[in-house]
Copies of this chain bind each other. A is one copy, B any other.
Amino acid sequence: MKLHWGPNSPFVRKVMITAHETGIAGRITLVRSPVAMNKTNVHVMVDNPLSKIPTLVTDEGQVFYDSDVICEYLDSLHTGARLIPLAGVTRWEVLRWNALGSGMLDALVLWRDERMRPEGHQSVETLLAYQQKSSATLERVENEIAALEGLPFSLGHIAIGCMFGYLDLRFADVDWRDGRSASARWFDTFRTRPSAQCTEPSVADKLVPSDPSIQTAAHPATLK
């Protein structure tokens, strides 16, 4: 299988942690595929016209995206305990935790894009709204992390772990651990998993060398 991949994408990391936890990582060839909101990558768009990673292509040519679909597909390829329970109340709990972690990641990626705009072009209201939504989400996770700890390891844990990891990578100034000791302890344990360690951005970055022939298209600075 081929995975359009990048070392810093938290959604790619969800897929790679799932691949390691299910014992499938060795069957996946990683293709470094840089993508961005303000660029297109024609190599990715052959498989996924939305130009997003992760995108998975099987040896038979079957294409899977987005990250949740890929994770479910990988979870169907092994015989161990399911990371996404097939039925029952635990399935809903796992899907909600995954939606909370992944939804927060969506917000964080957009928040970061907003912060990277030229200073005068940033929307103060949008920055403040992201700050408040993120803070409310972190409070919710802190208050309910015991419930997550009570569940068997799942895609929900992976999404929340990737959320904290992305905060460390891109929002070091936010100090999300402050006043959230239960979350900080939970993440300290999460980070000791081999699947988390080998997908940590600084470690993953060494896995696949950059290929200068594969670049995103930077668009002209004028729009008709």
A-side residues, CB < 8 A to B, are 36-40, 45, 49-52, 62-66, 68-69, 72-73, 92, 95-96, 99-100, 103-104, 106-107, 110, 117, 120-121, 123-129, 132-133, 136-137, 139-140, 218-223
The answer to whether A219 touches B50 (Cβ under 8 A) is no
* Complex-state Cα separation, A132 to B128, whole angstroms: 30
Chain B residue numbers with a CB within 8 Å of A68 are 68, 99
Q: Copies of this chain, how many?
A: 2
The answer to whether A50 touches B103 (Cβ under 8 A) is yes
A-B contact pairs, 18 of them (CB 8 A): A37-B110, A37-B129, A38-B125, A40-B132, A40-B136, A49-B136, A50-B133, A51-B129, A62-B92, A64-B96, A66-B103, A69-B95, A124-B219, A124-B222, A124-B223, A125-B218, A128-B219, A129-B219
Q: How far is the CB of A95 from chain B (nearest CB, A)?
A: 5
Chain B residue numbers with a CB within 8 Å of A37 are 110, 126, 129
The answer to whether A69 touches B96 (Cβ under 8 A) is yes
The answer to whether B121 touches A52 (Cβ under 8 A) is no
Chain B residue numbers with a CB within 8 Å of A45 are 133, 136
* Complex-state Cα separation, A121 to B100, whole angstroms: 30
Pick from B36, B69, B104, B120: contact of A50, CB below 8 A: B104
Closest to A125 in B: B38
The answer to whether B49 touches A139 (Cβ under 8 A) is yes
Pick from B51, B52, B62, B125: contact of A219, CB below 8 A: B125
The answer to whether A137 touches B40 (Cβ under 8 A) is no
17 more contacts with CB within 8 A, not counting A51-B129, A52-B103, are: A37-B129, A38-B126, A40-B129, A40-B132, A45-B136, A49-B136, A51-B136, A63-B96, A64-B96, A66-B99, A66-B103, A68-B68, A72-B95, A124-B222, A124-B223, A127-B223, A132-B219
Closest to A117 in B: B123
Chain B residue numbers with a CB within 8 Å of A38 are 123, 125-126, 129
Closest to A95 in B: B69
The answer to whether B96 touches A49 (Cβ under 8 A) is no
* Complex-state Cα separation, A134 to B126, whole angstroms: 24
